């Protein structure tokens, strides 16, 4: 099911769907189609980034693209129309495209919202709120200027230069340019526009922010400025400036909110243990040669993950969550094992569903798929939901240990440090051994020090003597 409406028997609109987890907005990263392109049912037309992941959106009908309502880099609320499609091209004159707006204009109050929960791209949206969203202020662009601005958003020059409109005290600029001016502390009313039709461009804002220069005649732009690409809208920087401002949005915004919420909600306790993992490293080398493990990636993280699963089985009370509203501790009889992954868009924590039921080869396959999907930016919101405990491998960065922050809704997170050759007392003699440091953070509301210590000690004992994977399991 998708989110769409009929504007007529010929033209259909596709709205920004709730791609899962009750998200309220998404940023359009890239359009794969342009007005005039033919599309088919199920064809991906754009890529959007939510607070959790980048998702490709397919259009749910055949036809010809009539209009793209928002340029790349724009954050759009769920339910806003993002594309209009002519589903019966050639059957008559197409109506004029809707006039673009400088900022979103509230929909007419006469349109009654549908009742109940509406079907969305993934699952169903959140229940209808009893409160109404406050209308956002916006001023429609006058008709002649609208064509120029629409052409600018589409990256094409208008057929004829439009005369400068009467702005009634409000400078004419695209939303990204307004945001740039706001970030740089520039009042658009003081900026001299050089764009066609009196439109203020990014260069105008940068010129206003630059140090004063000797007066020089302003040269009008030869053509309407093309719509800026999304990456250019991401970082705000002035040549020679000592600071760079990066808008907080998407995955970074979600990380910040989650970490602040976790750190100031769950009382964290972190315990550490240093352990000799020489036998584990030998086991990893042997498994790489095992024909039953052919085709899957074998590394120390695989054995560490299995060790944590065994430790949870021996201490099941650690696998729980705190329900503040109900004042209950929710015991989980399954383990969705989260793996913290660094991606170009930021840190994400996808999880392996029902990891406790998987054999070692199955766990290795799941780990490999999880990591590759995350690095390619294809992790879905569903893959990051429902985790119970997490592993973060800071050792890959050469770090010995850390104090990890809990993933919201989880009870524990295990940090694995770098595995290094160190002097170690082994059988009464000092020998070079493979050594690492483990750190376990847990929610002290539901995990006491004794329970947390037992879990960490069990993981360390297994890594020191991997045969315990058999005897304890």
Which helix (H) or strand (E) segment is 278 a member of? helix 278-288
Smallest CA-to-CA distance from 261 within 52, 407, 411 is with 407
Contacts of 333 (CB under 8 A, 6+ apart): 316
Catalytic residues: 444
Nearest-angstrom CA–CA distance, 307 and 46: 42
> What span, in angstroms and rounded, lies between the C-alpha atoms of 265 and 271?
19
Distances (CA, A) of 361 to 222, 357, 366: 63, 12, 9
Give the C-alpha distances (Å, rounded to integers) separating 103 from 99, 100, 172, 277, 301: 12, 9, 11, 58, 48
In this structure, what token pair is assigned to residue 49?
């980034």
Q: Sheet harboring 63-68: ordered strands across? A: 4-6, 11-15, 81-86, 63-68, 38-39
In whole angstroms, give the CA distance from residue 184 to residue 181. 5
Q: 434: which strand partners?
A: 421
Q: Rg of the Cα trace of the chain?
A: 28
Helix-then-strand count for the chain, H and E? 10, 22
Q: How far apart are CA 384 and CA 130, in angstroms?
A: 29
Whole-Å CA distances, 264 to 240, 267, 402, 413, 473: 38, 7, 18, 16, 36
Q: How many residues does the chain have?
A: 473
Give the contacts of 319 (CB within 8 A, at least 6 positions apart).
312, 331, 332, 335, 388, 389, 411
Token pair recorded at residue 166: 């009467």
**CA distances, 384 to each of 218, 231, 253, 337, 470 (Å):** 52, 25, 16, 10, 30
* Pair of tokens at residue 206: 């940068």
């Amino acid at each position: 099911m998708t989110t769409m409406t009929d504007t007529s028997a010929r033209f259909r609109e596709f709205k920004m769907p709730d791609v899962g987890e009750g998200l309220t907005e998404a940023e359009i990263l890239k359009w794969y189609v342009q007005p005039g392109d033919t599309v088919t049912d199920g064809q991906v037309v754009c890529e959007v980034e939510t607070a959790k992941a980048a998702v490709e959106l397919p259009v749910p009908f055949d036809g010809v693209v009539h209009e793209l309502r928002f340029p790349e880099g724009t954050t759009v609320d769920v339910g806003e129309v993002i594309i209009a499609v002519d589903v019966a091209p050639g059957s008559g004159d197409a109506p004029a495209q809707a006039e673009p707006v400088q900022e979103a204009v509230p929909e007419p109050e006469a349109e009654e919202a549908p009742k109940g929960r509406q079907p969305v791209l993934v699952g169903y949206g959140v229940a209808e709120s009893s409160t109404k969203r406050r209308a956002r202020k916006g001023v429609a662009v006058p008709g002649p200027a609208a064509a120029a601005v629409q052409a600018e958003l589409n990256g094409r020059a208008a057929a004829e230069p439009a005369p400068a409109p009467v702005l009634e005290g409000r400078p004419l600029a695209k939303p990204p340019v307004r945001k740039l001016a706001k970030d740089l502390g520039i009042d658009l009313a003081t900026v001299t526009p050089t764009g066609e039709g009196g439109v203020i461009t990014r260069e105008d804002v940068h010129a206003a922010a630059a140090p004063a220069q000797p007066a020089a005649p302003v040269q009008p732009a030869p053509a309407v400025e093309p719509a800026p690409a999304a990456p250019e809208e991401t970082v705000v920087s002035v040549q020679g400036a000592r600071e760079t401002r990066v808008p907080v949005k998407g995955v970074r915004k979600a990380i910040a909110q989650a970490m602040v919420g976790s750190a100031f909600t769950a009382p964290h306790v972190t315990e550490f243990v240093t352990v000799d993992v020489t036998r584990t490293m030998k086991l990893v080398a042997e498994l790489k040669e095992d024909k039953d493990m052919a085709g899957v990636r074998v590394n120390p993280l695989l054995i560490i993950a299995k060790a944590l699963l065994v430790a949870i089985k021996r201490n099941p009370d650690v696998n729980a969550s705190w329900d503040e509203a109900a004042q209950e501790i929710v015991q989980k009889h399954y383990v969705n094992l989260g793996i913290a992954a660094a991606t170009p868009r930021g840190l994400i924590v996808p999880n392996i569903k029902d990891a406790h039921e998987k054999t070692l080869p199955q766990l290795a396959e799941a780990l490999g798929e999880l990591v590759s999907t995350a690095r390619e930016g294809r992790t879905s919101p569903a893959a990051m939901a429902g985790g119970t405990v997490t592993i973060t491998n800071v050792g890959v960065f050469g770090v010995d240990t850390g104090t990890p922050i809990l993933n919201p809704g989880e009870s524990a997170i295990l940090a694995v440090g770098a595995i290094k050759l160190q002097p170690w007392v082994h059988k009464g003699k000092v020998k070079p051994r493979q050594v690492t440091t483990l750190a376990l953070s847990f929610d002290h509301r539901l995990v006491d020090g004794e329970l947390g210590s037992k879990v960490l000690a069990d993981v360390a004992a297994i890594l020191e003597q991997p045969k315990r994977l058999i005897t304890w399991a």
